[in-house]
Amino acid sequence: MSATIHAIMNSKTYTTNNMRLMFYNGDVDTVCQFLGDQWFIENLVVARNLTVQYDRREWTYQSAPQFTPTIAGYAKAWNQNLVQLTVKGSGHFVPMDRPAQALQMLVNFITNQADYNTPIFYVDTTPKPVISNNSTTTTTDSPQVCTRKESDRVLSLPGFNDTLSFKQYSGFLKGSGTHMLHYWLVEAEQVDPAGAPLILWLNGGPGSSSLEGLFFENGPFRIGKDGQTVYRNPFAWNQFANVLYLESPVGVGYSYSTDGKQPQYTDDLTAAENYAALVDFFNLYPEYATRPFYTTGESYAGVYIPTLSALLIQGIQNGTLNINYKGLAVGNGVLNKRTDMNSLFHLSYYHGQMTHKTYQDVISLCCANVTNEMDCRLDSHITSWNGMILGGDPNDQCYAYIIQEGINILLNEFDPYNLYEQCYTLKTGNGTAPVGDTWTGNNYDSSDPFAGYYCYMNDALAFYMNQDSVRRALHIPTTASTWQADGNIIAIYNQTYPTAEPSFDYIINSKYYNTSNFAILLYTGDADTMCNWMGAEWFTTQYFGQSLNLKLQQRQPWFYRSDPRYINTLAGYYRSYVEKNIDVLTVRGSGHFVPLDRPAQALQMIYNWIQQNDYSDPYALQQPSSTTISGTETTTTTTRSPSASSSTKPSVGNATSAVTFATTRSPQHTISPITINSVSPTVMNPTSAPASVVWSAGTSTPGNQLVTASTKYSPSASTPKTGGVAAHFTGGLLIAVVVSNILL
């Protein structure tokens, strides 16, 4: 390749016709990744003795004049018309992953623009109209008795145009002293709520409302662009569980204190607040005391959930709390600020967020005596972990440099919550505020697959939640303040625990944990930088593996498929500390908010974790596999295991059970219920295979589409495949039946 490029650049055609060479890479591609091409070009530059026209600099994309430019990647140019560009957030197929940026890049290259920031404003990306107005629908039944619980019943939801087939409740739980915490409970919809588990969901912050989880992530509703319309979330967790959303602590969402004062919280005070609210909840809803109960959350809930869990276990063990507590799950959690800090710069460099020089400068300034760059302990230069800006010695060159570069990375260039997310219609003049700030207006365009939901959801929800009709429907008193998605308590919040180790120490060493089959799930979207997957992996390896000396199972991939007709796609990886029932999992392509970025995968993950299934079991196919063989039905089930399998025992020798059916389950493949309709010959001897076998089979897909096939098999032939169904024989026995040509 190098010789070819040299030949092109040395040619008379190239030198006399002002020809140009552009190399561009999506920075998410691993097959032909940008670092490899960058190193190749640098070698080319040295060999040709080229000079730099301009050093590595960002180039931006602007969708319209009224919107703020967003970073599209980086460019570097040399003399002899050579340039290399990266395209932020794109994989191998740049015009598919980032079509607008690709078009701008190509136009500027063809028109010989030195500045790739030059926008092209002739592409019409005007959003289509959305359903307007806001009718109010009611549930099918009404409360019979005006108890406290029934007075919290939500009978209508402004802007929701569908019939509610599940009950929901909104009101206030008693926290510490004069504190009242707002809750919203949604009952299970697709299963009997009386037998379904209970999940608590907490958003983090500190200061983020858990109603963000309800409307943005795993709840039954999504908010419309107009801030008034509400529609269904097809990936809601209340399909199979009752889900409790708690706005905590006071000052978050609608939660308030009757004395009008704003407390100054620590992590321990917040845990006590949440514990008191849950005690009140189980008194108000005693039917949930015996249900399997799981505490879940994300981000700073990496502190909230473990500290709360320790109090719950303490209450159970001392006899003051009688509940069926089964596990905790934390997504992209603040588990250890030190490992997050140490991993951030490596992660940023290998995602194209900083130059090689900057990366080497950090290593040289901070870890001059380290031979392995991954051993660089940036955290040793931090003296205070309380707050968003970490404390340190201002005279420490390393501290000053990493704070400067860290702020630059997290706030000024990339979305810190998702490396590959961008909002292209941020109003001019707003600057490049990080996610979580309030946008000037509803923003419709983004790089995400949900029509820009990520960019307008905060404004839309704030507008919706503060309507008088919504406040009345949710039983919000006039004394409660204006609802905000992200409160200001973070400014006065004392972040007590820079690591979750003390809480996990208590939990894992407790008698209750070791006698109740308690489970822990720590999951991370791999495109997050705020609480990144590498920091989480380093923390769990150091704490669970080294400090607690737990045995780690080999890392396994897990898979998602949206329909039985389609192949499995990689959803991430997981590792297990089996002896303590701890799983550490990544979600591929997701940022900080996994149920928002990967809602289907998140639903499959949390369901399988609670049910103790293999993580790759498709949620849409969760009914136990049953197989009818000549009128005889057998049922197969699976459990989470790297080699999970199930099969029926061979049965041969008579016409009513002529076929032996067996399946081998793996994380990659799943089989639907199969019915063997007919087989000829009807008797197959396991010791002598017949000359040929003709059989027919049928399977029903979730869409009720019947797939059938007939196949003739000869022992000398390869595995027959026809009509999407295949058979495999050994010794005259039918040992596998496969859907979609996938041999299990």
Virtual torsion, Cα 348, 350, 355, 358, nearest 10 deg: 60
Q: In sequence order, what E strands does 637-714 have? A: 646-647, 662-663, 675-680, 693-700, 706-713
How open is the CA angle 354-358-361, to the nearest 5 degrees?
A: 155
Catalytic residue of the set 182, 592, 669, 728: 592
- Closest C-alpha to 230, from 106, 137, 102: 137
Cα–Cα distance, 733 to 715 (Å, whole number): 11
Catalytic residue among 29, 267, 528, 614: 528
Q: At 633, which helix (H) or strand (E)?
A: strand 632-636
SS3 636: strand
Distances (CA, A) of 169 to 196, 255, 595: 16, 15, 22
Q: How far is CA 245 from the centre of its chain?
A: 18
Distance, CA of 298 to CA of 265 (rounded, Å):
19
| Contacts for 639 with CB less than 8 Å, ≥ 6 apart | 612, 613, 614
351 is catalytic: no
User: Rounded to the nearest 10 degrees, what angle do helices 2-10 and 34-48 cross at?
Assistant: 50
Pairing of strands 625-629, 632-636: antiparallel
Distance of CA 202 to the CA centre of its chain: 15
Neighbours of 384 (CB within 10 A): 11
Outline where 510-590 has alpha helix (H). Answer: 511-515, 533-540
C-alpha distances (whole Å) from 209 to each of 202, 252, 539, 596, 634 are 8, 6, 27, 15, 47
152 is catalytic: no
Place of tokens 């501290």: 399
Cis peptide preceding 681, ω within 30 of 0:
yes
Encode burial over 622-633: b for 16+ CB neighbours within 10 A, e otherwise. eeebebebbeee
Q: Decide the pairing of beta strands 70-78 and 82-87.
A: antiparallel
In contact, 159 and 224? CB cutoff 8 Å: yes
List 299, 343, 446, 503, catalytic entry: 299
Residue 528 designated active-site: yes
Beta bridge partners of 52: 78
Residues with a catalytic annotation lie at 299, 528, 592
